[in-house]
Chains A and B, each alone.
Chain A
Amino acid sequence: MTGSFWRFTLLIASKDLRIEGRSREVLYTMGFSAALVVLVFSFALANATDPAQGPITAAGVLWAATLLTGTVALARVLDRERENEAIRSLLLSPVPRAAIYLGKLIATASLMLVVEILLAVLVGVLFSSAVFGHPVWLATVLALGTLGFASCGVVFSTALLRARSRDALLGALLFPIVIPVLLAASRATANLFDPLAPDLEPVAFWTRFLLATDVIYISLGLWVFEPIATGE
């Protein structure tokens, strides 16, 4: 991959982020949905008495909210390509299709990560969890989990670009595929939130698992994006 490849990738990503920076519609929608999910879960689980389940619940809520808000981000970031058939202009340009895929992936993952910071704070406050006990590990798990989710999501969202009920279909198609990512991310996060955990060995294991899954998903995404985007 040459320098111009990465220049194109960053151009695509910065275009999406600049548009979002101007409208902030995706961030507001994601933030609102995230806050709502965490609040509902915190009310529903207010009377839970088993303290051992606390970190597991907090991690589960964090990733359930990430799943929901990530789907919002995916739908909207790709929707911008559908309006006015802008995707066609992009596909007609000399930009490698792999750079378009990576640009979209970076933009989507960046938006998701911003909301995940808000989510982590909310989960920490409402579930009394030590979310920032291992900030570097948490950032790594969030980043890898988000990349794994978004790498599949961009492919499916592109495939559904011209589908009529794409919002409903996106979740139905995407969620089963990203189960390994969600399982690994929530297990690693639960271990991180657990103040009684003896060591971080399970976190390291799940992080390696996430890394391997990301490499596979991103490689597959790079491979299938072109035929999916062109409908060939």
Chain B
Amino acid sequence: MSQRSLRAARVCKSFGRQHALVDVSLAFAPGQVTCIVGPNGAGKTTLLGILATLVRPTSGEVLLGEEVLSATVRWSIGYLGHQPGVYPDLSARQNLRLFAALYAIPDAEARVDFLLERVDLATVRHDLPARAFSRGMLQRLALARALLHDPEILLFDEPSSALDPVGVRWLAEELCREREAGRLVILVTHDLDAAAQVSNHMVVLRRGRVAADQNSPAGFSAHEVRALYQEAVRDR
């Protein structure tokens, strides 16, 4: 795994007259799970979109190591949103094969086998379309798709929304596993308890600005996360 860090430097994003992000500067290190929290409309998803190269900042830049984040570094990014981003008419294996071909992954079949095993979908009937999957199965397939090309950075946008408690726990375990593997993980969530479970870097956004940015190598307790959040979003 590469050890490049990700850095947002004075990133601004406006949609017409509306400022979604204002002067956001943040650093994300490998082996760290960063949780970005904040009220609705704080700019969390916009920031994640910029980090994923899906949205262009109005000003400022994002650097992966020394390289400016652009289309050329898409190989380094894995993304998992609240929608699974897979084709419902294809089976799990067909979906992964398709994305393996799009990422030109060598020895794709072995990689697909490995990931299906890892997300516990190897025993699912091979021709069963993803349309017939439960929400939990879809999210497991989505994680396999996000990990397929072994990305340096994993971006999660509220991945546990609509998952049952078992699914939420499974996802938290996977996040911790990726952190241990040295991957740079960024998670956008509304769930402060889930954030406390996995993160060692907390960022609170409020009205498009960074209201809090704290590291804790040992992790955060649920109480610490709540206190940090409430202090950051309190009207001053």
- Tell me whether B101 and A11 are in contact (CB under 8 A): yes
28 contacts between A and B (CB under 8 A): A8-B102, A11-B102, A15-B87, A15-B98, A19-B87, A19-B90, A22-B89, A80-B89, A83-B87, A83-B88, A84-B83, A84-B85, A84-B138, A88-B79, A88-B81, A88-B85, A89-B79, A89-B85, A89-B99, A89-B145, A90-B102, A91-B54, A92-B54, A92-B79, A93-B103, A94-B74, A94-B75, A96-B71
List 3 A-B pairs, minimum CB-CB distance, nearest first. A85-B83, A89-B85, A19-B89
- Determine if A35 is an interface residue (Cβ-Cβ < 8 Å): no
- Knowing A22-B89, A94-B71, A232-B55, the reply to whether A88 touches B83 (Cβ < 8 A) is yes
Residue A95 CB within 8 A of the other chain: yes
Spell out A's residues near B (CB within 8 Å): 4, 8, 11, 15, 19, 22-23, 80, 83-86, 88-96, 230, 232
Interface residue SS majority, chain B: loop
Given contacts A4-B104, A84-B138, contact A93 B99 (CB under 8 A): yes
* CB of B86 within 8 Å of the partner chain: yes
| B residues neighboring A (CB under 8 Å) | 52-56, 71, 74-75, 77, 79, 81, 83-90, 98-99, 101-104, 130, 138, 145
Q: How far does the alpha carbon of A204 sit from the alpha carbon of B179 in the complex, in Å?
A: 64
Q: In whole Å, how far is B75's beta carbon from the nearest beta carbon of chain A?
A: 5
- Would A85 and B74 be within 8 Å (CB), given that A11-B98, A11-B101, A93-B102 are in contact? no
What B residues does A94 contact at CB under 8 A?
71, 74-75, 102-104
Contacts A4-B104, A11-B101 given; indicate if A85 touches B85 (C-beta within 8 A).
yes
Q: Tell whether, in the assembled complex, residue A232 and residue B71 are in contact, meaning their CB atoms are under 8 Å apart.
A: no
**Which residue in B55, B85, B103 is a CB contact (below 8 Å) of A86?**
B85
Q: Which residue of B lies closest to A15 (CB)?
A: B98
B131 closest partner in A (C-beta) = A83
- List 18 additional A-B contacts (Cβ < 8 Å) besides A19-B90, A96-B71: A8-B102, A11-B98, A11-B101, A15-B98, A80-B88, A84-B87, A84-B88, A84-B130, A84-B138, A90-B102, A91-B54, A92-B53, A92-B79, A94-B102, A94-B103, A94-B104, A230-B55, A232-B56
